[in-house]
Structure 1
Amino acid sequence: MHGITVRQQAPRLLAFGLSVAEASRQTGASASIIRLWRDRAGDTPPASAVCPRCAPVPLPMAPAGSYAHLLGLYLGDGYLLRCTTNVYQLSIYCDDHWPGLMEEAARTMALALPASPVTRRPRNGCTELKSMSRHWPHLFPQHGPGKKHERAIVLDPWQQEVVSAHPGPFLRGLIRSDGYRGLNRVRHQLSSGVRWYAYPRYHFKNESRDIMALCCAALDLLGVAWRFNDRNELSVARRGGRGVAGPACRPQILTAPARVQRRRVCQAVRAAARASSSEAPVWSAARANSSAASASRSRSRSALSVMTAARPRRNSTRPSSRSCW
């Protein structure tokens, strides 16, 4: 695979009158591929269509919100793998229980580099989304040897502009790849009865302090309150506050079927407690009988020991066989 610079240089050398062999020696591309480029003149895509960062003047990522989402997915649970010379594979693992999130991740990868197809590889309980291109390191300059939490993760200025303009999609990518979303249920005793409220709760966990700092900064841009509940995990759970995606997270009163189900569970627990209390005398009588039997056995053993001690030992003067040679 050759870069856009080589693909543009080879036809230019042929236009100057150089032979195919000479153009091959100067560019490093094979003669057959140069002939293919010559026969398909005008089919070479512009630099912006292959990689916006490889254009003579780097172009902004479009759409920027989609790239912010992909950046969150990569920092959370993605990685780059060098397959061959200057060709890299971007892999993101998605849970099979959430096909909608998987489709959005695949669409985001396709929008970042339209010339690179996105393929899927089934794994145990998940699916690996992967795309191969030599331009992925240009879009993710944070790539490097080793684990992410063992090296510095710093955004380039152009990436910082994208995240500052679209913090919501960036957070969505982080939480969907390396986080959790659930419902926090709260019980309130009111004069009218017991009320149960439920509101969203988000968790994000990562071993890299730099990635955790990026998540906290994006939450601050959205005005979302957060706190650390562990050294490598933060929590967003505030009734009536703003959600990670932007809209207000108002508390929801649990529906009547949920209250009925809870009442039935409580009634079943009380019935089991009453049944256990009614069986208590039976167990007490069995325990008393067991104690009486054990006492009788103890008296029998003591009487047997007394009779054995009173009985004279026969052949007491005979030497033991163990003392003989």
Structure 2
Amino acid sequence: MTTLSVREQAVRLLRQGARNVDVARRLAVPPGTVSWWKHQDLARTDELPGRKRSTCMHCFGDDVDAPAYSYLLGLYLGDGHITWPKQHRSPSLFISCDEKWPGIIDSVEHAMVQVMPLNKPCHVRRTGCRVVKLYSQHLYCYFPQHGPGKKHERTIALEPWQKEIVDAHPWAFLRGLIHSDGCRITNWATRTVNGVVKRHEYPRYFFTKTSTDIIRLFTDTLDAVGVQWKTSKPRATGQVNISVARKDSVALMDAHIGAKY
């Protein structure tokens, strides 16, 4: 019986879906070595990200899953960015997700697959978070808001075709923004009734952002779906809180978004 080499064992495990870090631990091999073996194996089978034609609604006229794109756009504007290091053949989209919410991590990856089905997302684990990452030559086509510097330091405006999608699928857009830079919490207040102090609890949504343009996109979309909101004074850091606390508006948000999961 032929004994598989360590490299062959690693490749077999990777093809079965094992994570690089788990293979490295199991076979006592440096993680970088496992990553290189995986890269070479994908290269041999022509499965490297970005090697095959990417989906693009602009360059190739491909159909786009509009609800999934509206959600992904909200995620990108909330807590996403695009980079293109010199050593990579394609730019990459990063969506940072808190590890406390595995359901959101799954929904981010699912949205990427729906929007760009010919490109395979991957995960990058960082302290306290999981980055869902996608390579494509056409990311700038899908996210023309990309540019140098931080989002709050440059103008963020939707293209007419993006606005058409968001107008048609506003709740998906709001869900993406809440899943990235928002939350649903249980707030409380006290009041005295007949000399007795009573505690009153109620649910509340918050969205926090520094970019006034993204704040405006969020509040304009809330207005479009009939959600009432309030804004706080900017913090010293420049961040602004948008609060949704009215009972009927919270119920509407719960019906379409809900708490993180």
> Could you state the TM-score of these two structures normalised by the residue count of structure 1?
0.56
From the superposition, tell whether residues 217 and 189 of structure 1 become closer, same or farther in structure 2 (CA, over 3 Å). same
From the superposition, tell whether residues 91 and 248 of structure 1 become closer, same or farther in structure 2 (CA, over 3 Å). closer
- What is the Cα deviation at residue 112 of structure 1? 1.1
Please name the residue that 2:78 is paired with: 76
Q: 2:72 is paired with a residue of what secondary structure? A: helix
Please name the residue that 1:50 is paired with: 55
Partners of 1:147 and 1:106 lie apart in 2 by 24
1:164 equivalent to 2:167? Answer yes
Q: 1:101 is paired with a residue of what secondary structure? A: helix
Q: Contact 1:203–1:233 at 8 Å: present in 2 too?
A: no
From the superposition, tell whether residues 247 and 146 of structure 1 become closer, same or farther in structure 2 (CA, over 3 Å). same
Larger Rg: 1
Match of 1:149 among 152, 174, 180: 152
1:215 equivalent to 2:218? Answer yes
Please name the residue that 2:134 is paired with: 131
Please name the residue that 1:87 is paired with: 90
Cα RMSD over matched residues?
A: 2.8
Spell out, residue by residue over 1:136-184, the C-alpha distance to the aligned partner (whole angstroms, 9 max, x if none): 1110011111111111111011100111111111111112211222012
User: Post-superposition, which runs of at least 4 consecutive aligned residues in structure 1 deviate over 6 A?
Assistant: none
> Could you state the TM-score of these two structures normalised by the residue count of structure 2?
0.69
Q: Percent identity?
A: 39
Q: Contact 1:226–1:234 at 8 Å: present in 2 too?
A: no
Partners of 1:237 and 1:142 lie apart in 2 by 27
Please name the residue that 1:181 is paired with: 184
Partners of 2:256 and 2:135 lie apart in 1 by 39
Please name the residue that 2:17 is paired with: none
Partners of 2:170 and 2:198 lie apart in 1 by 35
Count of residue pairs the alignment pairs up: 201
Please name the residue that 1:247 is paired with: 255
- What is the Cα deviation at residue 189 of structure 1? 5.7
Spell out, residue by residue over 1:164-214, the C-alpha distance to the aligned partner (whole angstroms, 9 max, x if none): 1111111111122112220122446668x8765433211111111111110
Q: Structure 1: which 5+ residue stretches go unaligned?
A: 1-44, 250-325
Partners of 1:60 and 1:214 lie apart in 2 by 25
Please name the residue that 1:236 is paired with: 243
1:201 equivalent to 2:204? Answer yes
